[in-house]
């Protein structure tokens, strides 16, 4: 019986072209690793890797469920989430 090689999701993650070409991290560096950590149940480590991970999940969940659920003040909530996500991403970029 042939033994199948074990495939790891880390082998299929996209490399950061900005980091490879210019040697600096981009605003999205760490997002894939944070999602992987979420799937592994490492919630605190995912937040430490990419602090905007949870607010991004909330933002995309609201955007994708817009037609399914009526949410009062939807546009204001989306605006606040977008601004807070931008602040988290830019702040994390400059802190690293």
Q: What global pTM score does this model have?
A: 0.76
- Asked whether 62 and 77 are in contact (CB, 8 A), the reply is yes
Name the nearest CA neighbour of 64 among 54, 74, 52: 74
Ramachandran assignment for 41, one of left (phi > 0), alpha (psi -120 to 50 degrees), beta (any other): left
pLDDT category at 39 given cuts 50, 70, 90 is confident
pLDDT category at 4 given cuts 50, 70, 90 is very low
Sole residue written with tokens 């890797």: 49
pLDDT (average), residues 87-95: 90
pLDDT (average), residues 9-34: 80
Distance CA 66, CA 11 (A): 34
Residue 33 pLDDT > 70: yes
Q: Where are the domains of the chain?
A: 9-95
What are the residues whose beta carbons fall under 8 Å from the beta carbon of 1, sequence distance 6 or more?
none
Q: What was the pLDDT predicted at 13? A: 73
**Percentage above 90 pLDDT, the chain:** 40
* Both structure tokens of 87: 């602040």
């Amino acid at each position: 019986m042939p033994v199948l090689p074990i495939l790891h999701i880390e082998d299929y993650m996209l490399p950061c072209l900005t980091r490879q070409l210019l040697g600096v991290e981009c605003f999205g560096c760490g997002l894939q690793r944070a999602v992987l950590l979420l799937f592994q149940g490492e919630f605190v480590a995912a937040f430490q890797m990419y602090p905007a991970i949870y607010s991004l999940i909330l933002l995309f969940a609201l955007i994708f469920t817009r037609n399914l659920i009526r949410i009062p003040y939807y546009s204001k909530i989306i605006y606040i989430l977008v601004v807070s996500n931008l602040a988290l991403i830019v702040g994390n970029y400059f802190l690293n």
